[in-house]
Structure 1
Amino acid sequence: MSSYLHACGEDISRSLRLYEWNMSAGSAVMATTGTVEVIVRNAIDRQLLSWARRKGHQDWVGVLPLDQRGRDDVAKARSRATLRGRRPEEHGRVVAELSFGFWRYLVSQRYHASSWVPSLHKAFPGAAPDIRKRRRDVERRLVSLMLVRNRAAHHEPIHRRDLLADLEDAIELVGWVHPEAGAWVGTVSALRQVANARPT
């Protein structure tokens, strides 16, 4: 409780109210970032499938040039998706098993030449026209959203974060995939109401 007590001048009653609010904020963060993750991963997956088919492959899983970390992530996802080989591999299941971190690293500088330039920049048509800036903008928002998502997932304090800025990052990022998707995230997310209800 130290973070909450410190923020509330050691007042236990106020600290508990802030802790309870933090739980609600964490739930709103998880729902919002979960929506962002699904939309972003599906947009990236669509471009990777198109890239793979242009290269004569049916699937990008197993052929996308990844570093060791990326290969390990894909191997784990394939294992989970097939129940360690007990059921046939389905592309959608593998994609669903890949973590938020996998998609975030896929837009990092290390994959700029191998993946971003040939295909991934097309997943965010509404972002900056310059594809270098586009990658940096997408990565920055994914990093920020992953950070707050991880804190919420581990029940850590997020009461000092600007959750309205996090929501704007989410809306903007998804809006770069499609404007209507961004508007939808802004409509369904509870973050604005929760942020505005933060106890003083």
Structure 2
Amino acid sequence: MTALISPVRLASYRRDTTSVAEAVRLYEWNLRASASVLVITGLVEVVTRNALDRELVAWADRRPPRADWFDVVPLDRQGSGDLAKARHRATRAGRREEVHGRVVAELTFGFWRYLVESRYHASLWVPALHRAFACGPSDLRVRRAEVARRFQQLHFVRNRAAHHEPIHSRDLARDHRMALELLRWVSPHAGTWADEVSDLPAVIAARP
């Protein structure tokens, strides 16, 4: 099993166990935990990107002349590049008509995460994006900071899980709690739905 998984990949599991057999069991648990993390963070990504997109559409509609927010949003160089790549993929390099929803689906979790960082506080958060998390803290600066902190943590653990990296030493219960809080700030119904769908607490409880 060491050869199959590789000594390097198994090393972090060996440090937390007393035998190869225990390390392999912990590795197997890490696989299950990663799958559960992808479920809850997938819900976070879909619900939050739709909420943020909704507010950006409304924001662009309030600005004359009316246009798709893709064409008027004041992004930095990285954000502009990410949006251009998403539009390129969504249209198959211009070979098909651009559809708004296809572009939104092509934008990465990281793109949405950075939209709530401090760099966009005045230009996007205050006039528009804070409404995507209407049930969050009342102070808009505190709300943005807390939303950004949760996005950061969930983006990190999602990427670890997606690339089969060790997450067995993380406080996954905290990650799960942050995910539910972020979803509840969008809609209490979203938080309730995710809580019913996610099996991460049960997986955490079964950790060897």
Match for residue 72 of structure 1 among 58, 66, 81: 81
Q: SS of 1:87's equivalent?
A: coil
Match for residue 169 of structure 1 among 173, 178, 190: 178
* 8 Å Cα contact 1:22/1:157 also seen in 2: yes
CA RMSD of aligned residues (A): 0.7
The correspondence of residues 2-151 of structure 1 with structure 2, limited to 5 A, is 2-9=11-18, 11-56=19-64, 57-151=66-160
- What TM-score comes out, normalization by structure 1 length? 0.98
2-structure distance, mates of 1:185, 1:3 = 30
2-structure distance, mates of 1:166, 1:74 = 28
For structure 2, list consecutive stretches of 5 or more residues without a partner in the other structure. 1-9
2-structure distance, mates of 1:98, 1:166 = 23
- How many residues were matched structurally? 198
Aligned counterpart, 2:198: 189
* 8 Å Cα contact 1:167/1:186 also seen in 2: no
Q: SS of 1:62's equivalent?
A: helix
Shift of 1:162: 1.2
For structure 1, list consecutive stretches of 5 or more residues without a partner in the other structure. none
* Runs of 4+ deviating beyond 6 Å: none
Shift of 1:62: 1.8
Shift of 1:198: 0.6
The amino acid that maps onto 2:27 is: Y
The amino acid that maps onto 1:129 is: S
Q: Identify which range, 57-66 or 37-46, moves more after superposition.
A: 57-66
1-structure distance, mates of 2:39, 2:94 = 31
Shift of 1:58: 3.4
